[in-house]
Structure formats: C-alpha cells, structure tokens
Amino acid sequence: MTGPQVLGERAAVEEAIRGQTVCDWLARTVDKHGDAPALASRVDGQWHALTWRETRERALEAAAGLMSLGLAKGDTVAIMAPNVPEHVIADLGVLHAGGVPMTVYATLAPEQVGYVAADSRATIAILAGEEQLDRWRPILDQLSGLRHVVVLDPAALPSGEAYLSWAELLRRGREQLRAHPSGPDSVAERWHSIRPGDPVTLLYTSGTTGPPKGVVLTHHNVLYEVEATASAGRLPELLTAVSYLPIAHIAERVLSIYMAISRAAHLHFCPDPTELATVLREARPTMLFAVPRVLEKIRVGLTSLLDAEPDEGKKAAIQQAVEVGREYVESSQYGRQVTPELAERYRQADEAVLSKIRAALGFDRLIWLSSGAAPLAVDLASFYAGLGLPIYEVYGMTESTGAVTGNRPDAFRIGSVGQAHSGVELRIAEDGEILVRGPLATPGYLNRPEATSDLIDEDGWLHTGDVGRLDEDGFLYVVDRKKELIITSGGKNISPANIESLLKEHSLVDQALAYGDDRPYVVALIVLDGELAPAWARSHGIEFTDQARLAEHPAILDEVGKAVAASNERLARVEQVKTFRILPTEWTAESEELTPTLKLRRRVIHSKYADVIDQLYA
C-alpha cells in the first residue's frame, strides 16, 4: 500500500501535528478542558479524580522536583509502579523536565531490572513501594549512575540520603517553581525547548525473541500515532477509559497517556487486574483496549452465567438475540450491507436483550472496543459481535509506536487486523514478512546500531518479523511470527498461534503451546485455567485439591482430549495435534513462561519443558 494517496494522507496528519510535542498538547487540553475529570482512582469503593488542570500542575511540580535532584535534559528516569495517577504524573513530570521516562515492567526479576536500568543509564528511579523496592535492592549497588530513588508509598520509604518520598519530591518542586517560575533553569524553559524529534519515552521489548532492547520513541512518533488512531476510530473528545494493562506496554501507554491527553479523557485506573470487571461496570468506558486473554476471561464468565439460566424460554430468547447481533455485525463488515429487515430485527433484539447484557458488563457506552498484542480468535470476535460489539482489531509493535493498521467503524473485517493507518506504507515481502514504512517507525534501538540496521533497511522499511497477507481491499491478515513458524521434519510450515487459539476456546484451557519444529507431527503443552478448572471439577463431582492433581485426573484428561479433537476437526491434517500434556502449574510472567503482556515466551517454554516435549515424541 504505497503511492500518492498514502503520501497525501501522511501530509495531512503531519500538518495537524507540526511543531508540537506532548507538553504542548497537555497545555492545550488544560486551556480547553481544564476542569474536566482526568485521572481517577478508586479508594474505599469511591472514585476520586484529578482534573486536567490539577494533573498538569502536579506534573510541573514533579518536573521541578526532579530538576532539583539534578535531572539533566536527556537523562532517563525509570518508573516501576502499577496503574495509578502518580504513574502518569511522574511520566509527564520527567517529560516537562526534559528527561526521558522509562516504565519498567513490574514483573521483571532483579537481574532483568538491573539490565534495563544499566542499559538505559537511568539516573533516577520512581518506585511504588515495598514490592518494587524488593526488585531493585539486590542490584542498586551495581548501578553507579543511579543517584536517587523516589518512593510513592511513604510507609515503604527506606532510610538513606538517596531515598525521598513522592510527597517530598512535589514539595521541593513547588519551592523550585516559586523560586524559578521562568527563565534559565526553569521548568518552563525546559519544556518549551523540547522538539518533536526528541525522545518521549524509552520502552524495552518484552523479550519474546531475545534479550530486551530499548526502543526509542519520539514526540513526533506518538503524536502521529494518536492522530491516526483517533481518526480511524472516530474518537471524540472527553472520552471515558480504563487503564489496567502495564504502562510499559505500548498500547496502554499510547491510550492512557497520549490519547488521554489528546482527547481530554476521564481515565479510571485499575491497579489490580482482578478488579477489572468491577471497574468496567463502574467506569462504563466509551473506549477500551483489551488483549485477547482479557476478552476470553470476560466471555467465559458471561457464558457461565448464561448457561446457568434456569428458564429455558429466557435462555432461548437470549440465544436468538445473540444470533441476530452476530448476523448484524457480520453484515456491517466492509463490502457487505445490512438490510432494512435485519436492521429492524437487530433494533428489537438490542432493545430487549443485548443492551441489557452490555450494561451488565459496563459496555453500554462503548463506541470503540479494540484488541491487539496477540492474535484474536475469530470465534471470540464472533462472540462479541453477538452482543452487538464489533472488535476493531489492530496490529503493530513497540518499534512502530503501536498500531500501524486497524479496523475501524466504517471499514472492518472480522479476522483481519484492518487497513493501514493514514500515511503508513504497507507491503508483503517475498518471504511473506510484513513490512511497514512511515512516521511511526522508531529512530532505533538504544545502544544497538546493528539491531537497528536489522530492523529498518536502507529504504526505510521496518521489518516486523511477522508473516501476513493482504486481501484485495488492503485488509491485513497476520499468519504468525516469522521466527515462530513451525517447520516440521516433512518441511511443512505451520502457524502455532492458529492451533493455540483453537485449543484455548475451551473454558478449561488457559494457555497452550503447539510444538513440532523439525519433528514429524505437532504436539501441545496445555495449562488449565486456574479459576475455571476447579469450578468445572466441583460441578462434575471432583474434589479439588490443587492444579497438579487436576492435571492428572481422568475426567479432566478426557474433557481436554475432547477439546483437542474438536480443534483438530478445524485444522489441516498436518496441523493437527497428535498428543498433548496437561502441565501441573500455571504459566505467569513471574515464572517467565509469559511476557508481562501475556504472550508466550516460546524459547523459555521450549527449554523449560524440553523433557516433557521429548516424552510426547517417545
């Protein structure tokens, strides 16, 4: 997808953001919507929100406080904290002081923390509390460049000159602002000197393909991303959103910081993912980004409730309404048409049933439900379509500032990741790799010129490492990661992600990994759902003791075997899973099988379970 039209679209977006930075956008939002609610946190069941004016005031105080600690322009500040208002304020404070904020995944082990802190040459760390301090203490002595540690929780503040509380940082900042409101060495002078090409953040890759690499992103990168995404999604100002994914993840960062500023969003923070369902019901977002695993969890919970409905007549009415919803959304896809008769049937089904289900989930105000970061199974998209909710799947990576393609309300196809964003060039290489070019590409990896050269070629094409195809209307379909394709001993190329998505459709299966590289057939490692498997066991008269016992129980083995068989019916013969093993423990980011965004770390799993895999081929 290249040519004059793409370049014309690019010029229009460039003109809209010319000469601006995130700091400019924040000042503009305060001028226009200063009293609108901005950052909301839930305390004792009640929501308390800072306005956009208060948010900026605290960000400037944080900036001045950091400057009082000696933060120089271009210095990196590491932030490790959950999704709370102080996290965003700290990030904006670093920016306004001319520094580079770097959110660190809270699940990293101390050795990994030490790696990214040393590689980025962080001079200051801002940590939430005791849990984060525990991950930093073992490596602090190795970080000669780290001068100060700011702690959000006053109860966790250690003694020592290097430590100070968040409250103390802001107090110092207020003093600094009074003493130097303008002129040299002032916060105003710092942020006014920032240029669009300056770094806006440094994000480390989650390590699915090797050691983490620091991705530099600029103000220009993120402003272009926001303008393109907002335009594609037709996103208005004064949105309502929920922040729950790690802010070290590019999608969450774009939406919870840059998009929120651009659209003066009312952002509800959910630091504990187990409370997401409650937060969604209370916040009733108009915009929501969800990784597939979150959507799967919501589906399983809702399906369980519907299955438990004792009134057969009511259950039949719900199923009928869902079928109408699915037909309506599928007929709304690009190139199709909704007939007047279907529109009327959908209106009735929505009024009587579907709108009530959406309201129960907190989805009654949603205008943009998007997914990305991992493949979205077609059956999952179809389920939400049945509720009257199209999922606008997007595609991108940290190195492309997030989404470079996306489905949108006026042009979506279920199963695809949409068309290229405005001004983004897109093509498929001879070997099937997806290549993109345009203003969203990172300037490069920090301290890794060779890796940068491998990422972006001499013609400016960013090599994604993913395999895909384009249809006749420019919709992109992602097949798999180039380096993760299974090549069997018979020379067949197989997508493990496709197999795994089918296996995970069963409520008992939380995670699955398909394996078959240089082997005669495909096998699978399966992890039970830690919440639903015990409930399933009890409902079938099985006494639950622990995950390991369940993994060996004949009834569980039989049910998972049925799930495997059902998946195989939808796969080509060469793709079918010949045998499987249910593992006795869950996979988590802490145990390193998953990235912080819940993607499989295949190399870790292959190594960790090499003996189990060998046994499946014995």
- The two structure tokens encoding residue 139: 């490596």
pLDDT band at 207 (very low <50, low <70, confident <90, very high): low
CATH (one of 1.20.59.20, 3.40.50.450, 3.40.50.12780, 3.40.640.10) for 22-194+235-287: 3.40.50.12780
Per-residue model confidence (pLDDT) at position 482 = 67
**Residue 98 pLDDT > 60:** yes
Count the alpha carbons within 13 Å of 250 in the hemisphere toward its beta carbon.
29
Per-residue model confidence (pLDDT) at position 534 = 87
C-alpha distances out from residue 454 to 155, 413, 463, Å: 46, 32, 8
Looking at the chain, which residues constitute the CATH 3.40.50.12780 domain(s)? Answer: 22-194+235-287, 290-482
Per-residue model confidence (pLDDT) at position 28 = 98
The sign one gets for the Cα dihedral 232, 238, 241, 245 is positive
Mean pLDDT of the chain: 92
Find the range with the poorest average confidence among 54-68, 342-356, 460-474, 584-598.
584-598
Per-residue model confidence (pLDDT) at position 122 = 97
**Residue 461 pLDDT > 60:** yes
Q: Identify the residue with better confidence: 500 or 152.
A: 152
pLDDT band at 142 (very low <50, low <70, confident <90, very high): very high
C-alpha distances out from residue 480 to 117, 253, 495, Å: 31, 25, 6
Architecture of the domain whose range is 290-482: 3-Layer(aba) Sandwich (3.40)
Cα separation of 220 and 329, whole Å? Answer: 35
pLDDT band at 206 (very low <50, low <70, confident <90, very high): low
Cα separation of 571 and 500, whole Å? Answer: 11
CATH class of 485-616: alpha beta
Whether 140 and 146 have beta carbons less than 8 Å apart is answered as yes
- As a whole number, mean pLDDT of residues 536-563 equals 88
Per-residue model confidence (pLDDT) at position 491 = 64
Per-residue model confidence (pLDDT) at position 297 = 84
Looking at the chain, which residues constitute the CATH 3.30.300.30 domain(s)? Answer: 485-616
**Residue 121 pLDDT > 90:** yes
Per-residue pLDDT of 407-457, as tens digits, reads 999 999 999 999 999 999 999 999 899 999 999 999 999 999 999 999 999
Which residues are bridge partners to 523 per DSSP? 515, 579
Q: Identify the residue with better confidence: 133 or 313.
A: 133
Per-residue model confidence (pLDDT) at position 520 = 87
**Residue 16 pLDDT > 90:** yes
Per-residue model confidence (pLDDT) at position 490 = 64
Per-residue model confidence (pLDDT) at position 174 = 97
Query: What is the percentage of the chain residues whose pLDDT exceeds 70?
Result: 97
- Reported in sequence order, the residue ranges of 471-546 that DSSP labels E, i.e. its strands, are 476-481, 486-487, 493-494, 509-515, 522-528
- As a whole number, mean pLDDT of residues 575-601 equals 86
